[in-house]
Chains A and B, each alone.
Chain A
Amino acid sequence: MIELRNIYKAFNKGTVDEINIFEDFNFKLDEGDFVSVIGSNGSGKSTLLNLISGSVYPDSGQVLKNGEDISLLEEYKRSASIMRIFQDPSLSGSPKLTILENLALYDSKARNFSLRPAIKKNRLDEYKEMLSRLGMGLEDRLHDKLASLSGGQRQALMLVLAKLSGDGVLLLDEHTAALDPKAAETVMGLTNQLIKELKLSVVMVTHNLKHALSYGNRLVMLHKGKYIYNTENHVGKLKMDEVLNKFYETSIEVGNSV
């Protein structure tokens, strides 16, 4: 579905701070894959997402989607089929608009500029039904501004928005990292439900090893742009201790505090 081929990517080129994130890096996301990506800071996991979403272009190499080269396609043009949820809940949705308006916005995603009323009354019941399945009472707060929601509620709502816009590929950029532990579990559970329901292809970058080990069909651990792990069907097989040890080894090497 998505493929990165022979990717080279460096930042701050030609300065003393030059960092080669990827040198001849390859990555493949098959249809229906759910890949968890872990790694220390600077390992390249965010750059991996950025390359797929199009917010960063490769120095050389190719980004393919269903065999088509999209290496230099603008981010907004890829968004029609690639949805991304960020770590910072404030980057999700439009805070000054109400929950209902945000839903309406994503519901009409694929369409061009249009003067039709954004909010379609006949969609209200479906919105409410989707919101009520989050179990957060948001279905009774349709006219509240997004800014008044908690981080967990906003991330959960983003999942509904992702569902409305019906994407093939979902990129999760540490989307539970800014939440309290309980909300993080809730949102992760809802995420997994949504992915299964819509059969999405997912790349999930996470700092939460437990999530990485208990969700998805593949685990990738990156270190300085190279694979430490690229394991299929890891759930239940890979042990936390083993992964932790590997993680500590590589983290200490690049000077991260443990």
Chain B
Amino acid sequence: MDVVFSLLLTVLEEAFIYSFLSLGIYISYIILNFPDLSVDGTFPLGGAVTAILLLAGWNPLLVLVLAFIAGSLCGILTGIFHTKFKIKDLLSGIITMTGLYSVNLLIAGSANVSIMNTKTVFNSGLGSLLPESLKEYNIVIIAFLLLIIVKLILDLFLKTEAGLILRASGDNKRVVTSLGKNPGSVIIFGLALTNGLAALSGAILVQAHGYFNVNSGIGMMVAGLTCMIIGNSLFKGLSFIKISTMAILGTIIYKALISLAFNLGAPPNTLKLINAIIFLVVLVAREKSARQTYIRGEL
């Protein structure tokens, strides 16, 4: 029973941390219809910024905000590549992602940085207020709180005038134009949010695990997208569940699947392979179910 519980705890811990990324992908892929690969670079960017600033003794909560801003700036770059320089969406993201690999190394100073014994959001501030009995669950509790705050802010934002324009833009660019708004700026804004959230995800990961690894971003876009699609496909019939909630539920399921694979004996090196296979299965299943719905005439 203890094994199951600790397994569940790890799954939730991971899921809550990566859910920020999934929320980001929700904005780029579901709302804007923009497959943004820059997150593979901005996820570790958030981590690199965090590692360096925490070692320099900065306030861990402030560091999270700064990581978000750093990610947003890179999202703005990708957006400019696409809207101003007219580079294809995938390629715009790849340029940012490729460049960021070096930038992240430059910021962090090396491919691996340990931040053991520094203050983090999990062991200081709110984290230190947790009663002794809950201390060992600090990561899952704090990550969950942060996630709920960000999710609620995002949900609220999407109901504002600016949020509504963002949602309309991925749906029908003409609407944005006919509203007298520059469709390009709306895309740039959305990508800033996406990459801010990706960097925040990477920043929280570093604070939780205590080290930074420059390769932590590889496959993040695919992973986040998988979570988003799992959540969206499983729960789309339930209109009372918000899409942001679906993203989080999808991330939990995805992390559970990965954990299941390892517990069934998959070697650690096969993580990305499992990642790719789950993604493939999810896409095929979604196509199949869409076709079924179409044939039954429910669409």
Contact = CB atoms under 8 A, between A and B. Distances in A.
A220 to B, nearest CB: 24
Interface of B: 157, 159-165, 167-168, 171-172, 174-183
Given A102-B168, A105-B168, 8 more contacts: A76-B179, A94-B167, A96-B167, A97-B164, A101-B164, A109-B180, A114-B160, A116-B160
Contacts of A95: 171-172
A94 B172 contact: yes
A113 B162 contact: yes
B176 A76 contact: yes
Given A76-B181, A77-B180, A79-B177, A96 B161 contact: no
Nearest to B30: A96
Given A76-B181, A77-B180, A93 B172 contact: yes
B177 A76 contact: yes
A93 B182 CA distance: 16
Given A76-B177, A95-B171, A97-B168, A113 B183 contact: no
A121 to B, nearest CB: 13
B160 A115 contact: yes
Interface residues of A, number: 34
Contact of A84 (B161, B165, B178): B178
Interface string A173-184: 000000000000
Contacts, number: 76
Given A76-B180, A104-B164, A105-B165, A94 B175 contact: yes
B177 A75 contact: yes
B214 to A, nearest CB: 35
A77 B177 CA distance: 8
A49 interface: no
A102 B178 CA distance: 12
A93 B175 CA distance: 6
A176 B168 CA distance: 23
Contacts of B157: 115
Contacts of B179: 76, 79, 105-106, 109, 165
B86 to A, nearest CB: 15
A96 B180 contact: no
A79 B162 contact: no
22 contacts: A76-B177, A79-B178, A79-B180, A84-B178, A90-B172, A93-B172, A93-B175, A94-B168, A94-B175, A95-B171, A95-B172, A96-B171, A97-B167, A104-B161, A105-B175, A108-B161, A114-B161, A114-B162, A116-B160, A116-B161, A117-B160, A119-B159
Given A97-B164, A114-B162, A118-B163, A76 B183 contact: yes
B240 to A, nearest CB: 12
Contact of A97 (B171, B177, B181, B183): B171
